[in-house]
Structure 1
Amino acid sequence: MYLDQGVDWTAAARADFYSRDQGSRLITLSWMQALKQRNGQPFLADGLSRYGYLPNPANTANLPVGFHASGPQDFQVVGMTCSACHTRQIEADGKVYRVDGGPAFVDFYALLGDLDKAVGDVIASDSSFAPFAAAVLRSTTPDAADVADLRRQVEGWYLRFHTLIVRALPRTGWGVGRLDAVGMIFNRISGLDIGPPPDFMIPGNMKTADAPVRYPFLWNSPRQDKTQWPGFAKNGNDILGLARNVGEVLGVFATFEPKRQGAIINFLDNNSTNFDGLNQLENLVKRIGPPKWPWTIDAALAARGKAIFERDSAEAGCSGCHGIEDGEQRFPFVKTWRTPVQNVGTDTREYDILAWKANTGVLKGAYIPFATAPLKENDEILNILATSVIGSIAEHLLAGGAPSTNARVAAAPDPGSSDTPESLGLVRLPPTLQDLLTAFDTVSTSEAIKKARRQGAERASHAQLPPWGSYEARVLQGIWAAAPYLHNGSVPTLAELLKPSGQRRSQFSVGRKYDIENVGLATTQEPLSDTLSVTDCSNINSGNSRCGHEYGTSLSDQDKKALLEYLKTL
């Protein structure tokens, strides 16, 4: 049953959202079709439902919702799109409900690990490669040269993918519905994309991605003035939305191989980012409304809960952080929703990821002229990401949507060089793109730029991030459909979140079964489920701490029940 998510969210929009190409290039389709599961069955036999992905009957290759195959027939490549991680189903009273834009109940960790093993098994020997080659080449007796060429391609893919899996994945899985997205994006860009040819890797840049967070819900996300759980990405208009989405697609295996051409960096050389697709997806996300509660609501009780929600006190005070209020002004005349970023005592592990540094490889010295300072040889990965995203978008837009040698926006001058941005033919970003320079809270602040210029383009100090362990507080429309809660998904229900953190469950099952009364995950989650163990406030940097957000915990039982009833109406 499809939930009511507004008149703009139509069946056609949904179908587009489920399969729109954003530029992700994970693995060749024919290879994936020829791979085997650990039990010997074809890898795609169940359409990846064993990992929690949802069936998409419209896909002729048996790929689930959020996966697509792009390219000419017989040469198609499998990629992922937004809906893979942002579509969920919940089950209650024997009925199944679809929540578009909701946090997916999927195990991306298991998918990555199993795909790595499947390809590793294929290339382990000539005898294991032979049936794979026969299937891919569609011949029982393929030409030896074709087999050898295919093997070189598969081994080249596996070298990069396996290096990422071995170095980035923690020993313990993230769990269903969770992913260290920032860590994996950082590892993808710094570890696989900016090194020297032929493999473009800098393996030493990769670190263990052990700060899992839950997938956020997408409805209303284009309206926020900040995104990412720590709030480090500015947001609220189309150009900032594009920056958010380019960073995302680079993390889910878009091809990105920036090239140095003398003193110039070319960000669009072999860059698979589908800018048109990303723009269409952002327009689709704008149409997704918050899901309406499909069950009965006690109107009188909800009215009492609304008064508690809007109460101006530390006892509840929900609306102070989670109400709809005007945020920052964006170009041209866009008013955002305020997204407060503050520390409420929750898990701090993601801030360890934000502090990562890496060798900048081919991007050493890269900068956005008249805007940011050059990347140092060893720099913060957040700065590497910002430069990669801003550079790619600026080149694309200044070139009219196609690569052009006349639209370079970043340079890497030699030490002691007298070159200037003007002498290198670099382009100053026009006023319509100025918001792009603020997309990430890095060195693009005006004072940092001035300081960098005074020091001869030397890197300025890192911009001011919020206090360690601060995360965004979103408007709570549709929050009833987004369990589990807190940024790291460490609390199973809203009722549990209203308990003091020491009384919250230390272990619970994650799955689609829904608890209508407690608003969140049901206690029993058979058959498809995952058990998550969480820590208390004594280990707040575990990545799995249930600590913090004590608001509303001192309310009476009757007031808590009323507040929950009101949250169902949002």
Structure 2
Amino acid sequence: MARKDHAHPRARHWLIWLALLLALGAVVATIGWYKLFREVPQHFDDVEAYYRYGSIGTEPEEGLPYWVWRVLPEVFPQHLPEDAEDAGYAALGVAWEQGEPTPVGFSLKTLGFPRIGINCAACHTATYRTSADGERRIVPAGPQQTFDPQAYLRFLGEAAADPDFTADTLLAAIREETELSWLDRLLYRFLIIPRTRDGLLEQAEQFRWTEERPRWGPGRIDPFNPVKFHPDLLALDPAEDDTIGNSDIMPLWALDEQEGYALHWDGLNDAITEVVLSGAIGDGARPDSLPVEALGELEAYLRELAPPPYPFDTRDDQMAARGKVLFEETCAGCHGPEGARTGTVIPQSEVGTDRHRLAMWTAEAAERYNAYAEAYPWDFDAFVKTDGYVAKPLTGIWLRAPYLHNGSVPTVEDLLRPAEERPVVFHRGYDVYHPDRLGFIHEGEAAERHGFRYDTRQPGNGNAGHEYGTELPAQDRDALVEYLKTL
């Protein structure tokens, strides 16, 4: 005999409703994951394209909604540099290739929705022109001269603090660029835009300490104070630290020739892999978002990448040959490939250059960084505290202007003069190259209009020290400059 189902009809109804609610919850969760967290892999034809536009893991924590980011300069042009002649993000000095959705050094990746993040190329990509009306040439892994990271951060913070940073205003601007679905419009209105505003205001507060110190300016950054003061990284207190780490951006090319050398300006690490990984963390990645395998491929690319040759045909080969002899006699011990001191830390008391950068990096910061990723297989253990600056090999020296660790000397010609004869004030950030002086044009109307006024009398900007070669006769200095063009 069949058994009767004695379940109460009301109970069966509750079970049906519960099943429906669970199914609805699953649908909502799936949609939420798809629209907010789904990760779409990037694809590039080669490693150079990845270097320029690939993700280094900054999007989950520091990434901005692409369409919000895209329209900010149009909605808030008043918060861009007042004296800039270029419009949009170009006013901040970014290198933007025609047809690309982002500038070089900015990755576009979908994590639920399209997000934009910074990568290494934002700072480590050089540009130069051989004349004011010449083509702007982009050099991967070279030191940026035009991008002003601090001005970029300030623009984002000031835009977020503007009363017009509202869903109505931004969605109207986005509508001019792309058509969002009705669901995306709801997400942007009630979640993405409000959260973006809060995040940018929080970021601006985290960088408030920079307002009390000299401006970075284009082509420079304080590389480790932001890491020290970030609440999720080393978490030191900026209120108890008035150090100035303002530093010229370094090239990343030819890393293989620096194997075993002290790295960074002050030699705070000598492991290339750790420098690559910590650079990504400094840009906003976190240990669990680092694409370690992809960064390994990037490291291999940078190890072999060579800088471009000096682009002018005005070099005097006979004078350069004499300059090579002078280089071997006066410079090669610290800067030649076989130099006994090449790649080593030269005490600041000897080299005499501005010591503010050295005060910025502390033994406590090194200890905390070494302990930062202990739970991960790649880990850090090579961070140290030093009291000097590294004697670097001079590969591609022509494109590394301005010179010294803080970018305080505009040309090699000036660097070979005693400190009291070097420019006290000049303009940096104009990428038209001077064919003879081994440096960018830094004076005159065009440099003033396009550049940033650099005053060597400000703290951290001193141009004293490194007076090696300054005692040479003028003709020998000229010969040395000619030879350096060949490196």
TM-score > 0.5 by shorter chain: yes
Cα distance, 1:478 vs structure 2: 0.8
| Counterpart position of 1:226 | 262
Q: How has the CA–CA distance of structure 1 residues 171 and 532 changed in structure 2, closer, same or farther, with 3 Å as cutoff?
A: same
Please say if residues 514 and 521 of structure 1, whose CA atoms lie closer than 8 Å, have aligned partners that are also in contact: yes
SS class of match (1:385)? helix
| Counterpart position of 1:388 | 372
Whole-Å separation in 1 of the counterparts to 2:318 and 2:183 = 74
Please say if residues 325 and 338 of structure 1, whose CA atoms lie closer than 8 Å, have aligned partners that are also in contact: no
| Counterpart position of 1:274 | 291
Between Structure 1 and Structure 2, whose CA radius of gyration is higher?
A: 2
Please say if residues 508 and 532 of structure 1, whose CA atoms lie closer than 8 Å, have aligned partners that are also in contact: yes
Residue of 529, 545, 551 corresponding to 2:468: 551
| Counterpart position of 2:274 | 243
- Tell me whether 1:521 sits opposite 2:440 in the alignment: yes
**One-letter amino acid matched to 1:167:** W
**One-letter amino acid matched to 2:139:** V
Residue of 377, 391, 396 corresponding to 1:473: 391
Residue of 378, 383, 386 corresponding to 1:440: 383
Residue deviations 1:518-562 (CA, integer Å, cap 9, x gap)? 110213344421111112xxx8xx200000000010100110110
Residue of 51, 62, 84 corresponding to 1:17: 51
| Counterpart position of 1:128 | 166
- Tell me whether 1:114 sits opposite 2:155 in the alignment: yes
Please say if residues 184 and 209 of structure 1, whose CA atoms lie closer than 8 Å, have aligned partners that are also in contact: no
- Tell me whether 1:78 sits opposite 2:78 in the alignment: no
Q: How has the CA–CA distance of structure 1 residues 518 and 308 changed in structure 2, closer, same or farther, with 3 Å as cutoff?
A: same
Residue of 407, 410, 431 corresponding to 1:492: 410
Please say if residues 233 and 372 of structure 2, whose CA atoms lie closer than 8 Å, have aligned partners that are also in contact: no
Q: How has the CA–CA distance of structure 1 residues 204 and 88 changed in structure 2, closer, same or farther, with 3 Å as cutoff?
A: closer
Q: How has the CA–CA distance of structure 1 residues 172 and 482 changed in structure 2, closer, same or farther, with 3 Å as cutoff?
A: same
Q: How much identity, in percent, do the aligned residues show?
A: 27
Whole-Å separation in 2 of the counterparts to 1:194 and 1:490 = 29
Residue deviations 1:24-53 (CA, integer Å, cap 9, x gap)? 23322233134345337999x956211111
| Counterpart position of 1:349 | 356
Whole-Å separation in 2 of the counterparts to 1:41 and 1:345 = 39
Please say if residues 186 and 382 of structure 1, whose CA atoms lie closer than 8 Å, have aligned partners that are also in contact: no
SS class of match (1:495)? helix
SS class of match (1:223)? helix
| Counterpart position of 1:103 | 143
Whole-Å separation in 1 of the counterparts to 2:80 and 2:465 = 45
SS class of match (1:71)? strand
- Higher helix proportion: 2
RMSD: 3.2
SS class of match (2:227)? helix
Q: How has the CA–CA distance of structure 1 residues 551 and 24 changed in structure 2, closer, same or farther, with 3 Å as cutoff?
A: same
Whole-Å separation in 2 of the counterparts to 1:246 and 1:141 = 37
Cα distance, 1:242 vs structure 2: 2.5
Q: How has the CA–CA distance of structure 1 residues 281 and 170 changed in structure 2, closer, same or farther, with 3 Å as cutoff?
A: farther
SS class of match (1:88)? strand
Whole-Å separation in 2 of the counterparts to 1:502 and 1:194 = 39
| Counterpart position of 1:33 | 70
Residue of 138, 141, 157 corresponding to 2:199: 157
Cα distance, 1:505 vs structure 2: 0.5
Residue deviations 1:478-507 (CA, integer Å, cap 9, x gap)? 101110000000000000001100111101
Aligned length: 419
Residue of 39, 42, 52 corresponding to 2:93: 52
**One-letter amino acid matched to 2:149:** F
Q: How has the CA–CA distance of structure 1 residues 499 and 134 changed in structure 2, closer, same or farther, with 3 Å as cutoff?
A: same
**One-letter amino acid matched to 2:108:** A
Whole-Å separation in 1 of the counterparts to 2:202 and 2:427 = 34
For residues 147-226 of structure 1, what are the structure 2 equivalents within 5 Å? 147-150=189-192, 153-170=195-212, 172-188=214-230, 191-193=231-233, 210-224=244-258, 225-226=261-262
For residues 269-418 of structure 1, what are the structure 2 equivalents within 5 Å? 271-296=288-313, 297-311=315-329, 317-325=330-338, 338-343=343-348, 344-355=351-362, 380-389=364-373, 391=374, 395-396=376-377
Please say if residues 21 and 277 of structure 1, whose CA atoms lie closer than 8 Å, have aligned partners that are also in contact: no
Whole-Å separation in 2 of the counterparts to 1:169 and 1:283 = 38
Whole-Å separation in 1 of the counterparts to 2:204 and 2:158 = 9
Cα distance, 1:78 vs structure 2: 1.1
SS class of match (2:485)? helix
**One-letter amino acid matched to 1:220:** A
Cα distance, 1:155 vs structure 2: 4.7
Whole-Å separation in 2 of the counterparts to 1:215 and 1:289 = 17
Please say if residues 322 and 480 of structure 2, whose CA atoms lie closer than 8 Å, have aligned partners that are also in contact: yes
**One-letter amino acid matched to 1:234:** D
**One-letter amino acid matched to 1:226:** A
**Structure 1 alignment gaps of length 5 or more:** 1-10, 196-201, 236-240, 257-267, 312-316, 329-336, 357-379, 398-432, 442-464
Please say if residues 20 and 281 of structure 1, whose CA atoms lie closer than 8 Å, have aligned partners that are also in contact: no
**One-letter amino acid matched to 1:108:** P
* Larger deviation, residues 214-223 vs 101-110: 214-223
**One-letter amino acid matched to 2:142:** G
SS class of match (2:426)? strand
Residue deviations 1:154-186 (CA, integer Å, cap 9, x gap)? 354135312212234445421111111121222
SS class of match (1:321)? helix
Q: How has the CA–CA distance of structure 1 residues 143 and 227 changed in structure 2, closer, same or farther, with 3 Å as cutoff?
A: closer
Q: How has the CA–CA distance of structure 1 residues 170 and 280 changed in structure 2, closer, same or farther, with 3 Å as cutoff?
A: farther
**One-letter amino acid matched to 2:89:** L
- TM-score under structure 1 length normalisation: 0.67
- TM-score under structure 2 length normalisation: 0.77
Whole-Å separation in 2 of the counterparts to 1:563 and 1:194 = 43
Please say if residues 134 and 142 of structure 1, whose CA atoms lie closer than 8 Å, have aligned partners that are also in contact: no
| Counterpart position of 1:375 | none
SS class of match (1:70)? strand
Whole-Å separation in 1 of the counterparts to 2:79 and 2:476 = 53
SS class of match (1:99)? strand
Whole-Å separation in 2 of the counterparts to 1:56 and 1:340 = 38
**One-letter amino acid matched to 2:294:** G
| Counterpart position of 2:104 | 65
**One-letter amino acid matched to 2:107:** H
Q: How has the CA–CA distance of structure 1 residues 142 and 340 changed in structure 2, closer, same or farther, with 3 Å as cutoff?
A: closer
Whole-Å separation in 2 of the counterparts to 1:54 and 1:208 = 32
**One-letter amino acid matched to 2:365:** I
Cα distance, 1:75 vs structure 2: 1.1
Whole-Å separation in 1 of the counterparts to 2:125 and 2:185 = 43
